[in-house]
Amino acid sequence: GRMLLPELHVEVPADRLAQIEATAAEFPEGYDFPFVDGARPMTEGAVEQMLAR
């Protein structure tokens, strides 16, 4: 779920964001992370989903 407390939100360091983007580029177009039946991601795209983890 979404974190409601603003104190729990942080800036992602540039080097970590670059690593996430490079990893996301390795996933085929349209790849979906596995979810429990009936669950859906809160965001679209591999980068956003990795950041939300």
> What ranges do the domains of the chain cover?
12-27+41-53
pLDDT at 43 over 70: yes
pLDDT at 8 over 80: yes
User: What would the DSSP string read from start to end of 20-44?
Assistant: HHHHHHTSPTT------TT---SS-
The rounded distance, in Å, linking the Cα atoms of 7 and 19 is 24
Which residue's structure tokens are 């950041």? 51
pLDDT at 33 over 80: no
Mean pLDDT of 23-42: 80
**pTM to 2 decimal places:** 0.66
pLDDT at 28 over 80: no
